[in-house]
Amino acid sequence: MNLKIREIRASSILIKSGLPAADWVINPYNGCLFGCMYCYAAQIARWKHPDEIWGNYLDVKINASELLKNELEKLVIRRSHHIYDFGSIFFSSVTDPYVGMEAKYKLTRKCLEVLADFGYQGSISILTKSPLITRDIDLFKKFKDIEVGMTVTGLDDKVSRFLEVKAPPVTSRIKALKELSDAGINTYAFVGPIVPYFIHDEKKIKEIIDKLEEIGVKKVWFEHLNLSPKIKARLYEYLKKESPELITEFEKTDTEKYREKLNKIIEKQMNGRKIKMGYKEVIYHKKLTKKIG
Ligand code: SF4
């Protein structure tokens, strides 16, 4: 496999967010080497590299931390007095902030160092699929309002290997979440997408929530699979080669009735637990677009 890693100089790094749960996003990389088959970013970010395969390229924004420092200073000047809270910042919306190259370039770490040195008072949220995140526990402790999350699409490495082709296996993520929780970091899990066929009944959902609660995770977000035409085209092309019988199984789940059934199971399973539900309902991209649109 031919990976293309390019060092680039970006023109901005602190970007206004279109996500309901964040005011700003920071993407220290463009592209993602984890190459998940359901990735929505594959469509959003690839206009820069239309001829390349998602998962095979990464632009490394080598000036990310320097840019962030300048942009934070400009925001302070624009607001003409020293406020160190510009709202919530999310790492990252169209890449994974701890993709393998982060071990070498440390761009996410350097951006967090800039925020810590700046004395950032707003909330920070980080979502990754990589246990490399535990490297930065020392830094997380410097923030008063930070939450650190891992995507957990099941408890079985076979499922994560199948759809999150080059991401670290889910068991290593659960171990990392426990390490973070044990270190006193506020942790969350993102069960998204809820993978059709593999995670389809109350038993499976309960197992996931039980595990997350057991390892000290404070909050869990759920999201239904986004089967928009572009995501579907890439995903089904992969399924056609790897496991064609699953196309019918996935297709069957793209109904309001199926989503409602899962919503009820999740609500029931979350009821009365210590672990809280992010967004207070299962996310579905079409409803989300309507809410923020
Ligand atoms: S880790 Fe996230 S950004 Fe990277 S390919 Fe997977 S879903 Fe996309």
Place of tokens 């942790």: 187
Decide: 77 and 205 in contact? Cβ < 8 Å: no
Q: What is the pLDDT of residue 1?
A: 67
The residue contributing the CA closest to ligand 1 atom 6 is 36
SS3 131: helix
Q: For residue 137, report the distance from its CA to the centre of ligand 1, in Å.
A: 22
Which alpha helices (DSSP H) does the chain contain, by range? 41-44, 64-78, 102-105, 107-118, 137-140, 157-163, 170-182, 202-214, 229-242, 245-252, 256-270, 285-292
Closest atom of ligand 1 to 167 CA is 1
Token code pair at residue 119:
């004395």
Place of tokens 């672990």: 275
Closest atom of ligand 1 to 55 CA is 5
Q: How is domain 4-292 classified at the CATH fold level?
A: pyruvate-formate lyase- activating enzyme (3.80.30)
Decide: 209 and 275 in contact? Cβ < 8 Å: yes
CA R_g for the chain: 19
Q: Which residues pair with 72 in a beta bridge?
A: none
CA distance 105 to 65: 11
- Taking residue 256's Cβ as centre, other Cβ atoms within 10 Å add up to 9
Q: What is the β-pairing status of strands 89-91 and 124-128? A: parallel
Q: What is the pLDDT of residue 84?
A: 81
Q: For residue 210, report the distance from its CA to the centre of ligand 1, in Å.
A: 25
Q: What is the pLDDT of residue 2?
A: 83
**What are the tens digits of pLDDT across the range 5-37?**
999 999 999 999 988 789 999 999 999 999 999
Decide: 217 and 188 in contact? Cβ < 8 Å: yes
Does residue 193 have a cis peptide bond before it, meaning omega lies within 30 degrees of 0?
yes
Write down the pTM of the prediction.
0.95
User: Ligand 1: does its nearest atom lie under 6 Å from the Cβ of 168?
Assistant: no
Q: What is the pLDDT of residue 81?
A: 59
Q: What is the pLDDT of residue 51?
A: 87
Q: What is the β-pairing status of strands 219-222 and 276-277? A: parallel
CA distance 267 to 281: 8
Q: For residue 32, report the distance from its CA to the centre of ligand 1, in Å.
A: 6
Q: Where are the chain's structural domains?
A: 4-292
CA distance 31 to 112: 20
Q: What is the pLDDT of residue 292?
A: 34
Q: What is the pLDDT of residue 232?
A: 95
Token code pair at residue 140:
């997380």
**What are the tens digits of pLDDT across the range 177-208?**
999 999 999 999 999 999 999 998 999 999 99
Stretches in the chain below the pLDDT threshold 50? 290-293
Q: What is the pLDDT of residue 82?
A: 67
Q: What is the pLDDT of residue 293?
A: 28
Q: What is the pLDDT of residue 285?
A: 86
Q: For residue 99, report the distance from its CA to the centre of ligand 1, in Å.
A: 9
Q: What is the pLDDT of residue 80?
A: 62
